[in-house]
Amino acid sequence: MEGEAVSGAQLIAQALRHQNIEYMFGIVGIPVTEIAIAAQAAGIKYVGMRNEQAACYAASAVGYLTGRPGVCLVVSGPGFLHALGGMANATINCWPLIVIGGSSDRNQETMGAFQEFPQVEAGRLYNKLSVRPSSVEVIPAVIEKAVRTSIYGRPGSCYIDIPGDFVNLQVNKSSVKYVECCLPPPISMAEHSAVSKAASILALSKQPLLIIGKGAAYSHAENNIRKLVDLCGLPFLPTPMAKGVVPDNHPNCVAAARSMALQHADVIILFGARLNWILHFGLPPRFRQDVKVIQIDVCAEELGNNVKPAAILLGDINAVTKQLLEEFSKRSFKYPSNSEWWKRLRVKIKNNEERSKGLALQKSLPMNYYTVFHHIREMIPKNCILVSEGANTMDIGRTMLPNCYPRQRLDAGTFGTMGVGLGFAIAAAMVAKDRAPGKQVVCIEGDSAFGFSGMEVETICRYNLPILIIIVNNNGIYTGLDANSWKEMLKLGNPATCVPPVSLLPNSHYEEIMSAFGGKGYFVKTPEELRNALKASVTDKQTPSLINVMIDPQSERKKQEFPWLTRSNL
Cα–Cα distance for residue pair 239/220, rounded to 1 Å: 15
Claim to verify: residue 328 and residue 369 sit in the same structural domain: no
Cα–Cα distance for residue pair 468/522, rounded to 1 Å: 11
pLDDT at residue 229, rounded to an integer? 98
pLDDT-derived band at 557 (thresholds 50, 70, 90) equals low
Share the mean pLDDT of the chain: 95
Cα–Cα distance for residue pair 543/247, rounded to 1 Å: 29
pLDDT-derived band at 332 (thresholds 50, 70, 90) equals confident
Claim to verify: residue 32 and residue 137 sit in the same structural domain: yes
Domain coverage including residue 378: 362-550
For residue 440, give the CATH number of its domain.
3.40.50.970
Pick from 84, 27, 78, 39: which is nearest to 57 by CA?
Answer: 84
- The domain boundary, picked from 317, 346, 375, lies at 346
Tell me the per-residue pLDDT of 66-82, one tens digit each, with 9 for 90 and over: 999 999 999 999 999 99
Question: Is residue 515 assigned to a domain?
Answer: yes
- Cα distances (angstroms) measured from residue 2 to each of 5, 57, 270: 9, 41, 55
Tell me the per-residue pLDDT of 388-401, one tens digit each, with 9 for 90 and over: 999 899 999 999 99
As for how many domains the chain has, the answer is 3
pTM of the model: 0.96
**What percent of the chain shows pLDDT beyond 90?**
94
Question: Is residue 529 assigned to a domain?
Answer: yes
Residue 205 DSSP SS3: coil
The number of residues in the chain equals 570
Question: Is residue 317 assigned to a domain?
Answer: yes
Cα–Cα distance for residue pair 257/354, rounded to 1 Å: 12
pLDDT-derived band at 282 (thresholds 50, 70, 90) equals very high
For residue 208, give the CATH number of its domain.
3.40.50.1220
Peptide bond before residue 553 is cis, with ω within 30 degrees of 0: no
Cα–Cα distance for residue pair 396/391, rounded to 1 Å: 9
Cα–Cα distance for residue pair 570/565, rounded to 1 Å: 7
Tell me the per-residue pLDDT of 89-111, one tens digit each, with 9 for 90 and over: 999 999 999 999 999 999 999 99
Claim to verify: residue 47 and residue 22 sit in the same structural domain: yes
Claim to verify: residue 52 and residue 155 sit in the same structural domain: yes
In this prediction, residues 467-472 reach a mean pLDDT of: 98
Q: Is 438 exposed, middle or buried (0-12, 13-18, 19+ CB in 10 A)?
A: exposed
